[in-house]
């Protein structure tokens, strides 16, 4: 009964971001309109994250749901307004007085997220150690980067069946079990500490618990065991370079506290992008973002971008597809048994290819069929036929012959070229 209720609740949230301008296509897009099963705009084919949509509230709800029933519940809170768990982002605004002639101007910098630690200066230092273009400062490219990574790395449809398209009751149950399993075994949120302070705390803890445990774990991989300086004693698990004394390091509890990372090295092993808000998935000695962890566990549909929980699906063009989603990217017609062409890694039916994507023959000015033999030179194309690939002056067939190309025209000789261009 509960599963039936879950299935009935399933929706793609078509009102979210409706009409928002595309930041990539500008005026070419009429405004965001969610495709009825793909996670893209019907008008321009770009994702929601590429449109001018304020997704902060939705993102906070998404992360709140992700961290439910985990040991990270201190990072979420249930709001009285909607009763839904929201992510308690640690937003920090730093103000610095700047002398401006006789007056004193206040320059404020707002970080849309910082590590949730009591020491605000340490949190800001962590941000400063990230690449400038990836620092989550409000109103900068770093803010846009965080927003895109939040959508890319932690897709809502990887954890919430109600955000998926037409799951069966059995698929809903499988997905719920899958999410529960990765929350128990892989999901974690990084923590930042100064390694020297962390080691001192562990030594004190080890001393107080002597007898309960034989040894205390060494904090950080030692880079120089003979005579290390304080900073050089700790090396990053990813780049193997030493930590700078006094700088914060990132720790991942599931990896063990003997491992640590530079802030800029705490990245997904697949996409090599910063793990957004230090949310990680740990598997077989590697850090993953949510998307690529799920990809390592389940096939993902190349059409709807959802994980596949059905036993029946198809494989084509090195991708997996729900049977009902192997469709033309332009018109959504089912492609099973039909001729299709891959355009930008997306399948397109022959009719749409001819209408929207086919190159024009410079000879006959007709579209080139995908299976047609052709001659290509630079950005120009011709049917590999005597009536198309010929001299623009004397109409001599040039197939298998030397030719002189000029701005889409072909010439068999300097004489013909001279006649046409003089």
Report in angstroms the alpha-carbon separations of 47 from 18, 195, 239, 259, 366: 12, 40, 33, 36, 33
**Per-residue confidence at 207, pLDDT binned at 50, 70, 90?**
low
Q: Is 11 a residue whose pLDDT tops 90?
A: no
Spatial separation of the C-alpha atoms in residues 283 and 280, rounded to whole Å = 10
Lowest mean pLDDT among 78-87, 97-106, 200-209: 97-106
Q: Which of 389, 397, 394, 395 is nearest to 368 (CA)?
A: 389
Average pLDDT over residues 130-140: 96
Predicted confidence (pLDDT) per residue in 221-246, tens digit: 444 433 444 545 799 999 999 999 99
Asked if pLDDT for residue 10 goes beyond 90, the answer is no
pLDDT digits (tens, 9 = 90+) for 307-322: 999 999 999 999 999 9
State mean pLDDT over 33-58.
Answer: 91
Whether residue 1 has pLDDT greater than 50: no
| pLDDT for the residue numbered 301 | 97
The distance of Cα 216 from the centroid of its chain, to the nearest Å, equals: 38
Is residue 155 scored above 90 in pLDDT? yes
In angstroms, the Cα distances linking 156 to 97, 103, 290, 349 are: 41, 48, 10, 30
- The pLDDT confidence band at residue 115, using thresholds 50, 70 and 90, is very high
Long-range contacts of 116-123 (CB under 8 A, 24+ apart): 116/75, 116/88, 116/90, 117/90, 117/191, 117/192, 120/92, 122/192, 122/194, 122/248, 123/90, 123/92, 123/192
Token couple for 268: 């997904």
Distance CA 379, CA 29 (A): 26
Mean pLDDT for 364-385 is 91
Q: What is the C-alpha to C-alpha distance for residues 188 and 66, in angstroms, rounded to an integer?
A: 10
pTM of the model: 0.83
User: Would the pLDDT of 215 be above 50?
Assistant: no
d(CA 97, CA 101): 12
pLDDT in the model for residue 326: 96
Reported for 317-321, long-range contacts at CB under 8 A and 24+ positions apart, including other chains, are 317/342, 317/345, 317/347
Beta-carbon contacts of residue 296 (< 8 Å; ≥ 6 apart): 270, 283, 288
Please name the helix (run of DSSP H) or strand (run of DSSP E) that holds residue 286, with its range, or none: strand 286-288
Q: How high is the pLDDT of residue 128?
A: 95
- Residue 9 is predicted with a pLDDT of 43
Contact 393, 419 (CB under 8 A): yes
Q: Percentage of the chain surpassing pLDDT 90?
A: 69
Closest CA to 60 of 77, 73, 74, 48: 77
d(CA 254, CA 72): 13
Least confident window among 52-66, 148-162, 193-207: 193-207
Q: Can you say how many angstroms the Cα of residue 231 is from the centroid of all Cα atoms in its chain?
A: 34
Helix (H) or strand (E) holding 361: none
What value does the mean pLDDT of the chain take?
87
Query: What are 390's strand-pairing partners?
Result: 397
Average the pLDDT over 1-16 and give the result: 48
End-to-end CA gap in the chain? 82
Which pLDDT tens digit goes with each residue over 379-409?
899 999 999 999 999 999 999 898 988 888 8
If you average pLDDT over residues 338-352, what whole number do you get?
Answer: 94
Residue 150's pLDDT band (boundaries 50, 70, 90)?
Answer: very high
C-alpha 220/C-alpha 255 separation (Å) is 11
Q: What is the largest CA-CA distance in the chain?
A: 99
Neighbours of 310 (CB within 10 A): 15
Q: What contacts 349, CB < 8 A, 6 or more positions away?
A: 328, 330, 331, 333, 335, 338, 339, 340
3-state SS class at 105? strand
**Region 48-67 average pLDDT:** 91
pLDDT surpassing 70 at residue 6: no
Which is more confidently placed, 336 or 63?
63
Residue with tokens 């120009």: 380
Q: What is the pLDDT averaged over residues 339-360?
A: 94
pLDDT at position 192 is 96
- Give residue-wise pLDDT tens across range 259-300: 999 999 999 999 999 999 999 999 999 999 999 999 999 999
Question: Residue 97: which pLDDT band, with cuts at 50, 70 and 90?
Answer: low
From residue 135, how far is each of 106, 113, 130, 142 by CA, in Å?
21, 9, 6, 5
Torsion angle (degrees, nearest 10) of CA 180, 185, 189, 195: 170
Q: State how far the Cα of 91 lies from the Cα of 39, in Å rounded to an integer.
A: 29
Whole-Å CA distances, 404 to 373, 387, 394, 422: 20, 17, 13, 15
């Amino acid at each position: 009964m509960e599963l039936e209720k879950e299935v009935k609740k399933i929706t793609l949230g078509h009102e979210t971001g409706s009409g928002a301008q595309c930041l990539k296509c500008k005026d070419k897009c009429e405004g965001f309109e969610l495709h009825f099963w793909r996670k893209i705009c019907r008008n321009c084919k770009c994702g929601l994250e590429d449109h001018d949509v304020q997704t902060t509230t939705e993102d906070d709800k998404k992360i709140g749901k992700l961290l439910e029933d985990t040991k990270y519940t201190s990072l979420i809170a249930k709001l009285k307004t909607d009763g839904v768990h929201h992510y308690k982002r640690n937003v920090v605004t730093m103000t610095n007085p700047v002398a401006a002639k006789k007056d004193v101007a206040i320059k404020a910098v707002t970080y849309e997220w910082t590590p949730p630690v009591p020491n605000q200066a340490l949190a800001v230092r962590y941000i400063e150690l990230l690449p400038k273009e990836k620092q989550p400062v409000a109103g900068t490219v770093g803010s846009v980067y965080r927003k895109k990574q939040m959508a890319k790395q932690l897709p809502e449809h990887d954890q919430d069946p109600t955000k998926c398209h037409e799951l069966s009751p059995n698929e809903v149950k499988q997905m719920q079990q899958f999410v529960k399993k990765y929350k128990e075994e892989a999901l974690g949120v990084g923590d930042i500490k100064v390694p020297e302070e962390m080691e001192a705390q562990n030594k004190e803890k080890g001393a107080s618990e002597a007898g309960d445990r034989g040894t205390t774990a060494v904090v950080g991989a030692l880079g120089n065991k003979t005579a290390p300086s304080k900073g050089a004693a700790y090396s990053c698990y990813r780049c193997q370079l030493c930590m700078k004394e006094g700088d914060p390091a990132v720790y991942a509890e599931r990896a063990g506290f003997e491992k640590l990372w530079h802030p800029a090295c705490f990245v997904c092993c697949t996409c090599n992008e910063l793990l957004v808000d230090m949310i990680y998935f740990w598997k077989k000695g590697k850090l993953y973002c949510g998307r690529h962890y799920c990809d390592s566990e389940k096939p993902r549909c190349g059409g709807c971008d959802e994980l596949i929980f059905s036993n029946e699906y198809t494989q084509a063009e090195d991708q997996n597809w729900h049977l009902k989603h192997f469709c033309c990217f332009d018109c959504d017609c089912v492609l099973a048994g039909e001729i299709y062409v891959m355009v930008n890694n997306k399948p397109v039916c022959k009719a749409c290819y001819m209408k929207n994507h086919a190159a024009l023959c410079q000879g006959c000015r007709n579209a080139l069929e995908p299976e047609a033999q052709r001659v290509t030179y630079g950005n120009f194309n011709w049917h590999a036929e005597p009536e198309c690939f010929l001299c623009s002056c004397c109409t001599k067939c040039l197939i298998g012959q030397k030719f002189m190309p000029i701005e889409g025209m072909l010439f068999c000789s300097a004489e013909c070229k001279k006649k046409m261009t003089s």
